[in-house]
């Protein structure tokens, strides 16, 4: 942290000579290029020696030069752009991205888009306890793709988007609220897809440095180098490094994150291109406590709803101590998308990828030194637990996950007069290991080893580790798809038809003693689709689509688990949970005029075997899982509207109305809860967002606000989370280049400017919060949902310069 402060002060001193200069945009900032549909035409008149003669030069405004490239020309301040997809699609672009706090994750960036209901746990976007629903669909039913490479966690389908990219390297993030493209490499995208795109490497040697510091001692250093074109190879690329450090905004704890992004490209001939891109990430994040509704009303954000900052001695239960809830994770992700022109009509594309991830999500637990169980097998003798008192010792329960994943997506594209035919195949292989040993804790509460791998876990008398879980699962996906993108009426009418057959197999192994050793699941799903776009005038467009998608249950649902203190079966594994299947229809209208860009979409979803994401508490560990809630129907309207820059102003507005209801009574404990017709959990009936951007090339400002309606937390609708509204503000100034510093910039971000104290999302929905009589007369005991607390007010100052 001291290194960040030292570098920050040095950088501020370097900029002091610049702060007094406020020049105007110069002629060099106007670039004459060929006219493009999304740019604003300008005219520059140059008077010749003969006053009656003049030359009119027409060109396009690329935007204002900045350390992050040319910005300031996008509609809605970068929150909307013209689209031509047969399905709903909203995109956040660089004008908005590069005005946000540098620690923001992808969820933060798309939170203002229609349908995106983001639940955060800290103001800066660092916490892993961040989630999102889209039109009522949870994050494990949404696909996440980085330039053709899937990012979803293979274990629970979630998207941990704070791990994959630094926002300084983003060109755009697209949210398809309805369904993914036919060739998207995802098998759990019943609720749409998020497509992430890196910036393109620069043609010239250069770079960028950035220093940020803000509330809660949070700082970030970022540096990027662009190679430019390397000799005569035609290769160009960038590589960046960032270090982020800060304290938790509430309760004890801190975060560390190191991250590397890179992308290298080579283009040649007629539309041939190969890229190598990826990232490396290593982080330690302190978790935030998730309270019940009662705890929230009693304590708010105070210590009662935080992990304990004090380690108690004398045998007191310290399972709530914050150092036992520090999450570690490291990863390497690589992809090499390629595009090759075989003939003037035939093209081949392929995206191979490889991924490695390893981390720990620990928790605090009390463990006995004798009378233990390894699954269903009693442990003979006693074990050694440092610090044990009266046969009971405080330990850290580990949740280690190690994943290897690889795959590729080859495609052939044949372009004819009115057809674009494509045939492709997707293969994906993942090997996912999860084990749950126990680690001793020092006298001051510090765990002996957060990362594992050093042999410091608690051992049985025979020398083997004591496990609460030891499972592995190999998942293979084979998918074949074929499609045709047709165009008629002089390219005014586009019809897209396609079919995808997905075959998924899971082979699981449970190494804990007990009746279950091998388990698994096999799924084969046909996924037809059709869509149409009709551009009936230059500005007006209609689109309609119908598609099918599916999601599989979490891997944790397959395995039996046991309490090591008693040998009790805590959860019965099953491979009979049915796969979620959805049929989705959309009809919409888009407008792209001289000043306005907008769209409105009507949607209807019908789900069978709706998989509800939840978190189960097993042996004091929070385990991601899913609940089959039966059928669900979701209907509603999405809309967004943005103004292209006018007198440097670019406002934006979006909204959604959603009516999501359960179609079946919920089966539980041999009875049925009367849930038919109840509102679906995590499905607010309304959401609205507004944004306003001003950017004259030097001074810029961006303000936005998001309002979210009430959300039910139980299937019985007997407990809900209230509505809330939060707002953010960014102010900044860009200077002209001076010496080696190109377009230095100073920016101040204000997050949750009203310091709204609110619950931001439902972490663990339940069937019923209060005791309820089932349809057959059984009293079904209620259980309280747990909630995420939204981040409080925070500020961050950022200094940026290109080199």
CA distance 38 to 440: 61
pLDDT at 617: 55
Contact between residue 199 and residue 802 where contact means Cβ atoms under 8 Å apart: no
Range from 57-71, 131-145, 654-668, 764-778 carrying the lowest mean pLDDT: 57-71
What three-state secondary structure class fits 299?
Answer: helix
Beta strand ranges found along 141-234 (DSSP E): 143-146, 149-150, 170-176, 193-198, 206-214, 218-226
Give the gyration radius of the chain's Cα atoms. 27
Residues in the chain: 803
CA distance 103 to 124: 6
CA distance 255 to 436: 23
What is the rounded average pLDDT of the residues 544-554? 88
Is the per-residue pLDDT at 42 higher than 50? Answer: no
pLDDT at 387: 81
State in Å, rounded, how far the first CA of the chain is from the last one: 25
Which residue stretches of 234-278 are H helix?
A: none
What is the rounded average pLDDT of the residues 183-194? 85
Strands 137-138 and 131-134: antiparallel
The pLDDT-based confidence of 29 (bands split at 50, 70, 90) is very low
Contact between residue 701 and residue 731 where contact means Cβ atoms under 8 Å apart: yes
H or E stretch covering 484: strand 470-488
**Is residue 548 classed exposed, middle or buried when 0-12, 13-18 and 19+ CB atoms within 10 A define those classes?**
middle
CA distance 235 to 274: 9
- CB burial string 704-726: b at 16+ within 10 A, e below: bbbbbbebbbbbbbbbbbeebeb
Contact between residue 396 and residue 364 where contact means Cβ atoms under 8 Å apart: yes
Whether the predicted model's global pTM rises above the 0.75 cut: yes
Which residue stretches of 49-186 are H helix?
A: 94-97, 106-109
pLDDT at 389: 82
CA distance 129 to 122: 9
**Is residue 45 classed exposed, middle or buried when 0-12, 13-18 and 19+ CB atoms within 10 A define those classes?**
exposed
Q: Which residue has the tokens 């075997």?
A: 609
pLDDT at 210: 97
CA distance 2 to 14: 19
Is the per-residue pLDDT at 2 higher than 60? Answer: no
CA distance 421 to 418: 10
Contact between residue 94 and residue 200 where contact means Cβ atoms under 8 Å apart: no
pLDDT at 52: 43
CA-wise closest residue to 713 among 618, 612, 631: 612
Is the per-residue pLDDT at 4 higher than 80? Answer: no
Give the CA angle between residues 195, 196, 198 to the nearest 5°: 145
- Over residues 488-542, the pLDDT tens digits come to 999 999 999 999 999 999 999 999 999 989 999 899 999 999 999 999 999 999 9
Beta strand ranges found along 593-723 (DSSP E): 596-608, 611-618, 621-628, 632-643, 649-662, 666-668, 671-673, 686-695, 699-708, 711-712, 720-721
CA distance 547 to 696: 43
Range from 4-8, 45-49, 163-167, 263-267 carrying the lowest mean pLDDT: 45-49
The conformation of residue 28, written as its DSSP 8-state character, comes to G
* Residue 37 backbone phi and psi in degrees, to 5: -60, -30
Is the per-residue pLDDT at 458 higher than 60? Answer: yes
Percent with pLDDT over 90 in the chain: 67
H or E stretch covering 3: helix 2-15
What is the rounded average pLDDT of the residues 16-38? 35
Contact between residue 318 and residue 447 where contact means Cβ atoms under 8 Å apart: no
What three-state secondary structure class fits 540?
Answer: strand
CA distance 479 to 184: 10
CA-wise closest residue to 470 among 432, 521, 522, 430: 432
Residues 341, 342, 347, 349: what is their CA dihedral angle, to the nearest 10 degrees?
Answer: -80
Is the per-residue pLDDT at 37 higher than 60? Answer: no
CA distance 464 to 388: 20
Strands 711-712 and 720-721: antiparallel
**Is residue 753 classed exposed, middle or buried when 0-12, 13-18 and 19+ CB atoms within 10 A define those classes?**
middle
pLDDT at 456: 85
CA distance 736 to 706: 34
* Partners of 374 in the β-ladder: 377
Is the per-residue pLDDT at 410 higher than 50? Answer: yes
What three-state secondary structure class fits 559?
Answer: coil
Residues 756, 762, 764, 770: what is their CA dihedral angle, to the nearest 10 degrees?
Answer: 90
Is the per-residue pLDDT at 449 higher than 60? Answer: yes
Percent with pLDDT over 70 in the chain: 90
Is the per-residue pLDDT at 770 higher than 70? Answer: yes
- Over residues 632-664, the pLDDT tens digits come to 899 999 999 999 999 999 999 999 999 999 998
Is the per-residue pLDDT at 191 higher than 80? Answer: no
Strands 419-435 and 411-415: antiparallel
H or E stretch covering 139: none
Higher pLDDT, 415 or 607: 415
CA distance 474 to 428: 10
Contact between residue 154 and residue 405 where contact means Cβ atoms under 8 Å apart: yes
Of the ranges 425-434, 554-563, 770-779, which is most confident? 425-434
Other Cβ atoms closer than 10 A to 618: 20
User: Mean pLDDT for the chain?
Assistant: 88
Residues 6 or more apart whose Cβ sits within 8 Å of residue 2 = none
Is the per-residue pLDDT at 692 higher than 60? Answer: yes
The pLDDT-based confidence of 618 (bands split at 50, 70, 90) is low
CA distance 40 to 30: 12
The pLDDT-based confidence of 260 (bands split at 50, 70, 90) is very high
CA distance 741 to 745: 10
Contact between residue 731 and residue 101 where contact means Cβ atoms under 8 Å apart: no
H or E stretch covering 294: helix 293-299
């Amino acid at each position: 942290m001291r290194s960040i402060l030292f570098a920050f002060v040095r950088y501020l001193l370097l900029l002091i000579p610049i702060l007094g200069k406020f020049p105007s945009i110069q002629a060099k900032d106007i670039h004459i290029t060929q006219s493009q549909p999304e740019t604003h035409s300008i005219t520059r008149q140059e008077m010749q020696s003969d006053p009656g003669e003049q030359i009119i030069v027409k060109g396009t405004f690329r935007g204002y030069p900045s350390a992050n490239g040319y910005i300031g020309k996008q509609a809605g301040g970068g929150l909307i752009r013209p689209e031509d997809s047969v399905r709903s699609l909203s995109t956040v672009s660089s004008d908005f991205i590069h005005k946000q706090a540098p620690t923001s994750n992808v969820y933060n960036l798309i939170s203002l888009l229609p349908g995106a209901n983001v639940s955060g746990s800290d103001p800066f976007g660092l916490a892993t306890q961040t989630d999102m629903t889209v039109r009522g669909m949870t994050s494990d039913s949404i696909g996440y793709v980085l330039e053709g490479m899937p990012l979803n966690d293979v274990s629970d389908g979630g998207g941990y988007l704070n791990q994959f990219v630094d926002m300084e390297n983003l060109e755009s993030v697209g949210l398809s609220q309805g369904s993914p493209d036919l060739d998207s490499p995802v098998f759990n995208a019943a609720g749409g897809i998020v497509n992430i795109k890196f910036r393109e490497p620069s043609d010239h040697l250069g770079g960028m440095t950035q220093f940020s510091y803000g509330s809660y001692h949070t700082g970030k250093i970022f540096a990027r180098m662009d190679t430019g074109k390397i000799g005569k190879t035609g290769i160009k690329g960038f590589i960046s490094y960032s270090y982020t450090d800060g304290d938790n905004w509430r309760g004890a704890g801190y975060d560390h994150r190191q991250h590397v992004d890179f992308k290298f490209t080579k283009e040649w001939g007629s539309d041939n291109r190969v890229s190598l891109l990826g990232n490396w990430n290593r982080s330690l994040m302190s978790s935030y406590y998730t309270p019940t509704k009662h705890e929230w009303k009693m304590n708010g954000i105070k210590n009662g709803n935080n992990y304990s900052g004090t380690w108690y001695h004398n045998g007191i239960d310290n399972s709530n101590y914050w150092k036992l809830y520090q999450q570690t994770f490291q990863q390497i992700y690589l992809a090499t998308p390629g595009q090759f022109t075989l003939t003037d009509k035939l093209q081949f594309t392929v995206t191979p990828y490889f991924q490695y991830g390893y981390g720990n999500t620990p928790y605090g637990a009390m463990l006995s030194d004798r009378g233990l169980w390894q699954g269903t097998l009693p442990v003979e003798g006693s074990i050694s637990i440092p610090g044990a008192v009266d046969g009971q010792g405080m330990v850290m329960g580990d949740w280690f996950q190690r994943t290897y994943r690889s795959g590729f997506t080859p495609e052939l594209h044949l372009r004819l007069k009115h057809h674009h035919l494509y045939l492709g195949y997707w293969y994906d292989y993942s090997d996912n290991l999860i084990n749950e040993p126990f680690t001793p804790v020092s006298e001051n509460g510090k765990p002996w080893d957060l990362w594992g791998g050093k042999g410091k876990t608690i051992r049985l008398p025979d020398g083997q580790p004591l496990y609460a879980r030891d499972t592995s699962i190999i998942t293979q996906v084979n998918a074949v798809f074929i499609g045709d993108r047709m165009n008629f009426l002089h390219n005014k009418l586009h019809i897209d038809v396609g079919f995808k057959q997905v075959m998924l197999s899971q082979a699981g192994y449970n190494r804990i003693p007990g009746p279950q050793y091998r388990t698994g699941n096999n799924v084969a799903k046909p996924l037809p689709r059709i869509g149409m776009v009709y551009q009936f005038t230059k500005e007006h467009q209609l689109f309609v689509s119908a598609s099918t998608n599916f999601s599989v249950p979490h891997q944790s649902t397959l395995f039996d688990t046991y309490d090591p203190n008693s040998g009790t079966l805590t959860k019965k594994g099953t491979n009979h949970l049915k796969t979620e299947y959805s049929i989705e229809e959309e009809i919409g209208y888009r407008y792209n005029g001289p000043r306005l860009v907008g769209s409105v979409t009507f949607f209807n979803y019908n789900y069978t075997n709706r998989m509800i994401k939840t978190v189960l508490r097993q042996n004091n560990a929070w385990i991601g899982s899913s609940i089959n809630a039966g059928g669900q129907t979701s209907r509603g309207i999405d809309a967004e509207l943005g103004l292209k820059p006018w007198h440097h102003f670019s406002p934006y507005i979006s909204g959604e109305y959603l009516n999501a209801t359960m179609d079946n009574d919920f089966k539980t404990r041999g009875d049925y809860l009367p849930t038919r017709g109840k509102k679906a959990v995590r499905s607010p009936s309304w959401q609205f967002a507004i944004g306003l951007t001003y950017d004259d090339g030097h001074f810029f400002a961006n303000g936005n606000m998001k309002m979210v309606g009430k959300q039910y937390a139980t299937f019985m609708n007997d407990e809900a989370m209230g509505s809330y509204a939060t707002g953010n503000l960014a102010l900044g100034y860009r200077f002209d280049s001076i010496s080696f510093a190109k377009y230095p910039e100073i920016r101040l971000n204000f997050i949750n400017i009203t310091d709204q104290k609110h619950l931001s999302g439902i972490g663990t929905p339940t069937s019923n919060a209060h005791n309820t009589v089932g349809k057959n007369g059984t009293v079904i005991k209620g259980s309280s949902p747990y909630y995420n607390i939204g981040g409080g007010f925070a500020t961050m100052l950022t200094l940026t310069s290109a080199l």
